[in-house]
A = this chain, B = another copy of it.
Amino acid sequence: MPKYKPVDPQESPRFSGIKTFMRLPHVQDLDGVDFAIIGVPCDAGASFRTGQRSGPEAIRNVSALLRHHNPILDVSIFEYCSGIDYGDLPVVPGYIEDCYDKIAESLFPIIDAGVFPILLGGDHSITLPELRALAKKHGPIALVQFDAHTDTAEGYFGRPHNHGTPFRRAAEENLLLVDHSIQVGMRGSIFSKDALNNARDLGFEVVTAGEIREIGASKLTQRIHKRVGDTKVFVTFDVDFVDPAYAPGTGTPEVGGFTSGEAINLVRGLDGLNLVGCDVVEVLPDYDPGQITSLLASNVAYEFISLLALQKKCIIEKA
């Protein structure tokens, strides 16, 4: 029996109660915890629309719809995992570098305790301090990035940090095994002809949306597995990977994206990777009146949890 699991849906309706992810207990004691949902309400890096600070709240609100058993991956999560909603990490509006420091500092003890972190953004800039905390524990790790953009710009307005730069910085800071890292889903207009090459020059493998359409989902999954191998890997999912019809509530949407079904299937295809954490970012509730973006993001987080449960299930079944 897991130490922590959601409130029983037969005990009270899923719309009731304090809004934690999946109605998990909100505790910060890490003992007996397999995974922690962690909000990062930071939008200091948002270069176009802002308000991603409300992303964690919106994802939590709708996550009550998620149920214990994942029929596609065929795993009942809480038979194998104990999970909590840790709450939010501290941030400092208007001071992105302070945000980075606070995020990394407060995340590290969770990682260090061996708890699997699933982070809810927040704009994409937050992945940099997450990677700093992870690298402090694990050393450089691989990255799988689902995104419409590479987020490897040189800088903006004379400054090094916003949500368009985290993966250049991560590469420069040696937080990543770029040789094992892969960015998938890039599309849309770009600032200059060589914008995608910039990411490739840093060492990332970049698979554009057009290429994915050509090769198909299962080939893409193979490429991801081949690239990552059995290195430790962090998965970052920017909801703009998905088409604005499926994810209107985001900061820099691009038309011509993937469906929610395609996206979820690709996440499921990560089964077998050596995951050390993941995040889902760029949910912007003010542009999501029907809450479908939050719903999608909560499902992405759910699949991450399911992957972890599956991993634990395999270990148990092998034993």
Binding site for B on A (CB under 8 A): 9-20, 26, 39, 41, 43-51, 53-54, 57, 60-61, 64-72, 74, 76, 85, 87-88, 90-96, 98, 125, 156-159, 161-162, 188-193, 195-196, 208, 210, 243-246, 248-249, 252-257, 259-261, 264-265, 286-292, 295-296, 299, 302
Residue of B nearest to A193 (CB): B69
20 interchain pairs (CB within 8 A)? A12-B91, A13-B157, A15-B54, A16-B91, A17-B88, A19-B60, A43-B50, A45-B94, A46-B94, A47-B93, A65-B252, A68-B191, A69-B191, A70-B189, A71-B190, A71-B208, A98-B158, A244-B296, A253-B295, A256-B265
Which residues on B sit within 8 Å (CB–CB) of A260?
243-245, 255-256
A76 with B292: in contact, given A16-B53, A85-B18, A93-B44 (CB under 8 Å)? no
Q: Are B192 and A162 neighbours in the complex by a CB distance under 8 Å?
A: no
Residue of B nearest to A22 (CB): B189
| Centre residue among A11, A157, A249 by max chain B CB count within 10 A | A157
- In the bound complex, how far is the Cα of B65 from the Cα of A305, in angstroms? 33
A51 with B48: in contact, given A191-B68, A261-B257, A264-B255 (CB under 8 Å)? no
- In the bound complex, how far is the Cα of B99 from the Cα of A159, in angstroms? 12
Q: Are A48 and B91 neighbours in the complex by a CB distance under 8 Å?
A: no
- In the bound complex, how far is the Cα of B291 from the Cα of A287, in angstroms? 8
Which residues on B sit within 8 Å (CB–CB) of A19?
18-19, 57, 60
Q: How far is the CB of A61 from chain B (nearest CB, A)?
A: 7
Which residues on B sit within 8 Å (CB–CB) of A295?
244, 253, 255
Which residues on B sit within 8 Å (CB–CB) of A249?
290
Q: Are B91 and A255 neighbours in the complex by a CB distance under 8 Å?
A: no
Q: Are B65 and A302 neighbours in the complex by a CB distance under 8 Å?
A: no
Which residues on B sit within 8 Å (CB–CB) of A67?
188-191
Which residues on B sit within 8 Å (CB–CB) of A57?
19, 61
Q: How far is the CB of A64 from chain B (nearest CB, A)?
A: 7
Specify how many copies of this chain sit in the oligomer.
6
Q: Top 4 A-B pairs ranked by shortest CB distance? A: A248-B290, A256-B261, A94-B96, A44-B94
| Centre residue among A16, A65, A93, A252 by max chain B CB count within 10 A | A93
Which residues on B sit within 8 Å (CB–CB) of A255?
246, 260-261, 264, 292, 295-296, 299
Residue of B nearest to A102 (CB): B157
Given contacts A26-B26, A51-B286, A255-B295, 11 further A-B contacts (CB under 8 A): A13-B53, A13-B157, A18-B18, A18-B26, A18-B85, A45-B94, A68-B191, A92-B156, A243-B246, A245-B245, A256-B261
Q: Are A195 and B12 neighbours in the complex by a CB distance under 8 Å?
A: no
Q: How far is the CB of A294 from chain B (nearest CB, A)?
A: 10
Q: How far is the CB of A78 from chain B (nearest CB, A)?
A: 11
Q: Are A157 and B15 neighbours in the complex by a CB distance under 8 Å?
A: no
Q: How far is the CB of A45 from chain B (nearest CB, A)?
A: 5
Q: How far is the CB of A46 from chain B (nearest CB, A)?
A: 6
Q: Are A159 and B92 neighbours in the complex by a CB distance under 8 Å?
A: yes
